[in-house]
Copies of this chain bind each other. A is one copy, B any other.
């Protein structure tokens, strides 16, 4: 939160971040169409004038929110991978990695991203902006998963099983959008982690 003693530049940066976080919450909860500068400003507790100073148009806001979303997802992915490094190696580590990966696809951040992807499916200009970011995010997620699992990604079986785990996580994220799918998801995660662990460590 901004305080009266905070330098002006820091206050401005804090306001900008509040607006971007409010954009994510709006997208996740009220959907693409409702995430306008006016609605986001109100949610962030920022005056409309101040919001428009940061983001003159809705497109400016959405573009900045997209970058913020990708940076946040990458930072979270890296910090989760780091935390997983402290779990003892073995089947327990694999369980923790799969669970952590899957949970990252059930957050408001994923739900906001889903709104953007779905809108971008019918908006070529938006799609052009998102595709390189998604490709970069995909590569980083994959690398983080490989490191956390402690496996050799040059092995094609390993490479494809890690990819499949990310695809499964995306599918489980989508299954959680309309209803709370957490109970079913927990069982799927447990089973897949067991199967994945055996497959990754099978002799070949």
Q: How far is the CB of A164 from chain B (nearest CB, A)?
A: 5
Confirm or deny: A120 has a beta carbon within 8 angstroms of a beta carbon on chain B: yes
A11 surroundings in chain B (CB, below 8 A): none
Q: How far is the CB of A5 from chain B (nearest CB, A)?
A: 39
Q: How far is the CB of A87 from chain B (nearest CB, A)?
A: 22
A115 surroundings in chain B (CB, below 8 A): 118, 121-122
Chain A interface secondary structure, helix, strand, loop or mixed?
helix
**Which residue among A32, A111, A163, A178 has the maximum number of chain B CB atoms within 10 Å of its CB?**
A178
Q: Is the CB of A164 within 8 A of B168?
A: yes
Interface size class of A (residues with CB under 8 A): 35 or more
- How long is the Cα–Cα vector from A31 to B30 in the complex, in angstroms? 17
Q: Is the CB of A118 within 8 A of B114?
A: yes
Chain A residues with CB under 8 Å of chain B are 29-34, 111, 114-115, 117-123, 127, 130-131, 134, 157, 160-161, 163-164, 166-175, 177-179, 184, 187-188, 190-192, 195-196, 198-199
Cβ-closest chain B residue relative to A158:
B191
**Which residue among A157, A167, A191, A199 has the maximum number of chain B CB atoms within 10 Å of its CB?**
A167
